[in-house]
Structure 1
């Protein structure tokens, strides 16, 4: 007797194979990631797709393994953007997932080559692209050396909130770090209100609570603060004290990705940023990876 797989099993396998095929066709350069010398995987790695779409690595791996898990429309939208799907591919993704696309004609912006060029040309101004979860999706040379050596970190650790509470180099560079961490935790809580059921947000929250007693104490206060620019001082180990204005340029809706830049507020800071950009990434004071 021939056994026929349930339609739901067939749909999950088709979804898994479609995601894998789209992931393997994209080069790191297309989404603003560093290729690296030891890359064996064709296209992007699973953890890179997870980072770009702000979902958990384990959760995305299960999705590509056709496991029986629930996928929200918001997560599908994030995956479509991360995988640079066109409108036909986006429609196919939602159809395989059995979900209704809330915005079927929405373009799928990501860290495009043009945005990567813009980041580079902003130098010496430190700049990066972040999503609302504080994941750092792309950055220029100066930003990569501003608070720690970002190149030494795995993609899943390139998150400003995680680094502010766990990375000693990042913490040492930020003047008035306790207040900065308080504001970041409050902004994260405000942003999370729209993402309470999403696996990536819950996974980051659990990771932070497990790693930092300070974060647990701040999270328990239930403080909320809206996003916004501010003046700050950063003490870089290579070039000294920097006086900067944190500025956000939203690349879509206010809850979506944004370009973050640190504009120098005096000539001494501008000169020091110029020097930081030209220094060797293995110069004194930068962690070795």
Structure 2
């Protein structure tokens, strides 16, 4: 049976065509770097192709030879995440290569571990250098990957929580301390849920995003009601009020700095005093911490 070649949409943009060509070239380059011995195939005496043949990649990834050939010829308009996952495994791609593959195809990586939850050492240094201002390192799901000492003093130390609970959305929904001390908590929760929904649109196929959502939906009727509103919101600076049990009211402006435009997306969130009184109270907290450290 003859399979007809895929027809590209006449409205395909120049960017889409460039992406298909880049994807094709990237796959060819990875295929040529993998030897038959690395994937348990015999080399054979008459092999002239560097690396693997197309039909061998198709066999290893359980993808049709014709379809894989079209991908490498930039003739496949849409490549599924399942095919990309299988091909990435067959070509022994490392995490950086895998992320690049999915980015070129504009597909969400279905692997749960696709988004890194480990804080880079350089990012940790940035967060620590922001003291006496509270600061944290977060990923796109609002998981807190690292927090400096001022953050722990104002909001509580995430390191004391189970890893699954070190998430701003979870804490705003379930933490008695955050519900008590965050004077704008209701507004913050509604805003953060809207931002999570907007961010999730780019990660619908990633199980870890759905797992986070399902956990919140299961424990909080308030969260379920807000989620059903289908509100979305962009990232933007804003001032919020916090009532600290020792130094009193602190008004902080949230400032976000993305560390990289591509996945795994991580950002430094700094909490900058919105007025002189708030700055003085943060400095007082730092002094108290110093006194406790020398006691």
Scaled by the length of structure 1, the TM-score of the pair is: 0.60
- Given the superposition, is the C-alpha separation of residues 132 and 92 from structure 1 closer, same or farther in structure 2, using an over 3 Å criterion? closer
1:258 to 262, 267, 277: 267
Hey, what does 2:285 align to over in structure 1?
276
Q: Which residue of 2 aligns with 1:101?
A: 101
2:157 is aligned with 1:155? no
Cα distance in 2 for residues equivalent to 1:72 and 1:211: 35
> C-alpha distance in 2, partners of 1:273/1:254?
34
Map Cα deviations across residues 99-154 of structure 1 (whole Å, 9 max, x no partner): 983469xxx99633232222112101000111110100111001122222323211
Measure, in 1, the Cα distance between the counterparts of 2:100 and 2:181.
45
Alignment of 1:222-261 (within 5 A): 222-253=230-261, 256-261=265-270
Q: Is the 8 A contact 2:151 2:157 kept in 1?
A: no
Shift of 1:173: 1.4
1:181-230 Cα deviation digits (max 9, x unpaired): 11111111111111112111110000000111000000011011111110
Q: Spell out the pairing of 1:164-175 with structure 2 (5 A cutoff).
A: 164-175=172-183
Residue in structure 2 matched with residue 144 of structure 1 by the alignment: 152
Question: Compared with structure 1, are the counterparts of its residues 71 and 163 closer, same or farther at alpha carbon in structure 2 (3 Å cutoff)?
Answer: farther
After TM superposition, give the deviation of residue 277 of structure 1 in Å: 3.1
Q: Which runs of 5+ in 2 are unaligned?
A: 1-38, 40-81, 105-115
Highest RCO, 1 vs 2 (Cα 8 Å, sep ≥ 6): 1
Q: 1:93, 1:244 → 2: CA distance?
A: 37
The 1:72–1:223 alpha-carbon spacing in structure 2 relative to 1, beyond 3 Å, is: farther
Contact (CA 8 Å) 2:193, 2:227: kept in 1 or not? yes
Aligned to 1:41: none
- How much is the aligned-residue C-alpha RMSD, in angstroms? 3.2
Distance apart, 1:172 and its partner CA: 1.1
Distance across 1 between alignment mates of 2:95 and 2:240: 43
Query: Aligned residues, how many?
Result: 195
Q: Is the 8 A contact 1:126 1:142 kept in 2?
A: yes
* Kept in 2: contact 1:134–1:160 (CA 8 A): yes
Aligned to 1:193: 201
Shift in Å at residue 169 of structure 1? 0.4
Match of 2:222 among 211, 214, 217: 214
Native 8 Å contact 2:242 2:251 kept in 1: yes
TM-score (norm 2): 0.59
Indicate how the Cα distance of structure 1 residues 71 and 166 shifts in structure 2: closer, same or farther if over 3 A, else same. Answer: farther
Q: Which runs of 5+ in 1 are unaligned?
A: 1-10, 12-69, 77-89, 284-289
CA contact (8 A) 1:91 1:101 kept: no
Deviation per residue, 1:40-65 (Å, 9 max, x gap) = xxxxxxxxxxxxxxxxxxxxxxxxxx
Q: Match of 2:47?
A: none
| Paired residue secondary structure (2:101) | coil
Could you say what secondary structure the match of 2:243 adopts?
A: strand
Going from structure 1 to structure 2, the CA distance change for 1:72 and 1:221 (only over 3 Å counts) comes to farther
